[in-house]
Chain A
Amino acid sequence: MTTTRFPRITLWRIIVAVIFAAGLYATYARFALGFKLATNLTDPQPWGLWVGLGTLCGVGLSAGGFAIAAAVYLLGFERYRPVLRTAVLVSFLGYMSVIVGMMYELGLPWRIWHPIVMWNRHSVLFEVSWCVMLYTTVLALEFSPSLIEKIPWAGFREFYLHWHHKLLIALVLAGTLLSSMHQSFLGALYLITKGKLDPLWYSPYLTTEFYLSAIPAGLAVTIMALYLCVRSLNVRLDLSVLSDVSRVIAPLLALWGLFRAVDLITHDATPYLFMWREETLSFWVEIGLFVLVPVVLLSRDKVRNNPQYLYWTCALVVMGFMANRLNVSITGLQASSGVYYVPKWTEFAATLAVLTAAVMAFRYAVIYLDILPKNPPRQRWMVANTAAEA
């Protein structure tokens, strides 16, 4: 007789269960009760957490995939190759969660296909929607060998991998361009808010600023994901590659900071830098978390060469990045909107649930697919299994 073993109850499993239960309710609230009860969105604040965190941060933090793919395939930085699949997987799951998030965010999500047939070439959002569609396809194709190589039919497998190999460079090239455009166009979405968006964030160069900030943030996420894999998924990885990747982050952050400084000064926004108001405070939190602290920390060998320090520094970069996107999409528009928007708990719950699902998908992919090389199994039950198989 076989007994189905109930999964062991651990703290993490309880947390995940709570998140999914809350997410489930948020989903019910959004689709059965409507925006009014599921969110704190209003006419003056029509885009909230789901756009600011879900879409803007989701896409930005998924920039690691194209950056690493371009570095390895187009620029020949072979030393990043071991982390390539991880970076692409993180990006792919990031984009998938953005798309799932859009189902909550759109008022009429069953019409999400409309931009395929109804075109408005003057709309930034139209270009953004095409970038999402095309780049998600590219990411899926870039990632596909990890799945295909597990298929038992050798003929099909070889055929697919052969053609994939032939077309890979074209894919990476298209992916780099599409992803770059996508990151920039997300910034371009806010170009039309001139007069509404606070001078600390409005700039004709929002495109460049979004692009420049996405790359270091995406790399930081990749480092964090890799560190967690090594720590808890029994992955074998020379940790010096993390230090290598992190070497690029500080200069990119500094470049962004410099660009932002020049931009603010040339657009006469300097007086706003030192005013006693919420926007200015949020601005300095953003600059502190995203530029000042990480640049100082990442310039120290001690931080770069210690995976744990590096992990937490990358977490700061990610938080700083999120502060920037939320400032553009929420804080910076608050004054002109005249309402004080605080997301409802269901908005957090839905976003968190989608993110948790992505993290779990990542975990299972690393466990069951050849994303990263693994250490020989050590746990006793696994040893017993292999013995039984033999």
Chain B
Amino acid sequence: METTRAILVDITKCIGCRSCEQACKEVHGFPMETEAKLSVTALTVIEERGDKFVRRMCMHCQDPACASACLVGALKKTAAGPVTYDASKCIGCRYCLVACPFNVPRYEWSKLVPYVKKCDMCAQRQAQGQPPACVEACPTGASIVGNRDEILEEAQRRIVTDSKYVKHIYGSEEAGGTSVFFISDVPFEKLGFVAAPKQPMPVLTANALGDGPTVILLGGALLSGLYWITQRRAEVALAEAQDKERS
């Protein structure tokens, strides 16, 4: 998995120039107006929190809730890192929106043929050896991209060597680990980051799904057994009635 890519966003370095937003809109052909929140035409945005600028985007979980939730497998975690969306499979159930612990996916509510929209870490560009558009556009190096291990090491190095950083890499354990990391000099909860569960989200449903076959086998056996008893009792009752009649 050493070729798995990841993005590190260093909030202390972000100056709020919105070059990442603009670059993202450009590669997707979206209208260029600045938007306050993630939307179907803004797959990454800069949110202002006090004097800090916080970039929002898909976290590209290692074991994504959305991909486990999607009933037709339209959402997939690729080996290269990005969580991608295959619009041709999507049926529009929006369970991915319900499942995402970071509330990232957006839905095209105003379209008659609506799809889900979310950042795909420029999977196509990355496959051609280019960095994601947002990272490429960042003038201060607040966003960098690289192999996940190296990116995590770099984040670790920064928070250890510089005392201003909060001693946590957001994304290192959230939802079981992601492929987008944030480091900051202000506590994450003050910047609007959600306290996501620490385990991979699909674990939560895996147990219930794993119980399925057991329930079928045990339940089937139990019900068949009960049916056999019911039948047997009816037979015995019938035989007894016949005996009584004969005597």
Q: A residues engaging B (CB < 8 A)? A: 31-32, 34-37, 39, 41-44, 46-47, 70, 73-76, 105-109, 111-112, 114-115, 118-129, 169, 173, 176-177, 180-181, 184-185, 188-189, 191-196, 204, 207, 337
Contacts and interface: CB of A to CB of B under 8 A. Distances in A.
Contact of A43 (B67, B68, B97, B234): B97
B212 interface: yes
Nearest to B39: A43
SS class of chain A's interface: helix, strand, loop or mixed? Answer: helix
A188 B99 CA distance: 12
Contacts of B107: 35, 43, 46, 107
Contact of A192 (B68, B71, B233): B68
8 contacts: A34-B114, A35-B107, A75-B226, A75-B230, A123-B95, A177-B215, A193-B98, A195-B197
Contacts of A129: 71
Given A43-B97, A108-B114, A115-B72, A74 B209 contact: no
A191 B96 CA distance: 13
Interface stretch (B120-128, B142-150, B199-207): B199-207
B123 to A, nearest CB: 19
Contact of A123 (B70, B195, B234): B70
B36 interface: no
Interface residues of B, number: 58
B246 interface: no
A195 B196 contact: yes
A106 B91 contact: yes
A35 B40 CA distance: 14
Contacts of A70: 223
The 6 closest A-B pairs by CB, nearest first: A107-B92, A76-B230, A46-B97, A126-B71, A118-B72, A120-B73
Contacts of A31: 112
Nearest to B117: A43
Given A122-B68, A126-B71, A108 B92 contact: yes
Contacts of A105: 93
A194 B201 contact: yes
A191 B71 CA distance: 15
Contact of A124 (B106, B208, B227): B208
B94 A181 contact: no
A34 B70 contact: no
Given A43-B103, A192-B68, A195-B101, A124 B109 contact: no
B56 to A, nearest CB: 12
A47 B219 CA distance: 32
Contacts of A37: 110
Contacts of A169: 227
Given A74-B226, A123-B69, A193-B98, A34 B110 contact: yes
A44 B194 CA distance: 14
B37 to A, nearest CB: 9
A47 B197 CA distance: 22
B1 interface: no
B224 interface: yes
Contact of B106 (A43, A75, A194): A43
Interface string B76-116: 00000000000001111111011101010111011111110
Contacts of A75: 226, 230
Nearest to A185: B208
Q: Which of B196, B208, B226 has the most CB of A within 10 A?
A: B208
B241 interface: no
